[in-house]
Amino acid sequence: MERLNFFTASPKAVKAWTALETFLAESSIDKPLAELVRLRASQINGCAFCVDMHTADARKGGETERRLYAVSVWRDTPFFTPRERAALAWTEKMTTVAQQHPSDADFAELAAHFNPQEMMELTMLISTISGWNRFAIGFGKMPAL
């Protein structure tokens, strides 16, 4: 049950946060990869609303059901490119940063597939979706039936 509609509770705060989304929409991270990253971070954070939304958005963008089902076990499938694997690994490290900081090896894997601008923008994407997850979880936002 929704505890608070954060969109109406503080429109200025939401406007500031959505400015990040406007930037990310024009960033170097392509939309299909961005949706996989958003989905994986939302799975880790346990955000039902965001998992539902980003699964639907990925489907609309042409993502296959098979790959969507496998995002949570991406390491154990052959369905993802080396670049996607590096992004998903970085997503997991940055989303669980309180448990263990990314190592030099983690960073080297990221740097093998992303240039400095892309690394910054990918990390901003991960940080932004994690923030949305916290709004949705904290304020009880639920997927629509």
Please give the model's pTM, rounded to 2 decimal places: 0.95
What's the 3-state SS for the chain? CCCCCHHHHCHHHHHHHHHHHHHHHCCCCCHHHHHHHHHHHHHHHCCHHHHHHHHHHHHHCCCCHHHHHHHHHHHHCCCCCHHHHHHHHHHHHHHCCCCCCCCHHHHHHHHCCCCHHHHHHHHHHHHHHHHHHHHHHHCCCCCCC
pLDDT tens profile 10-28: 999 999 999 999 999 999 9
Domains along the sequence of the chain with CATH: 23-138 (1.20.1290.10)
pLDDT tens profile 45-77: 999 999 999 999 999 999 999 999 999 999 999
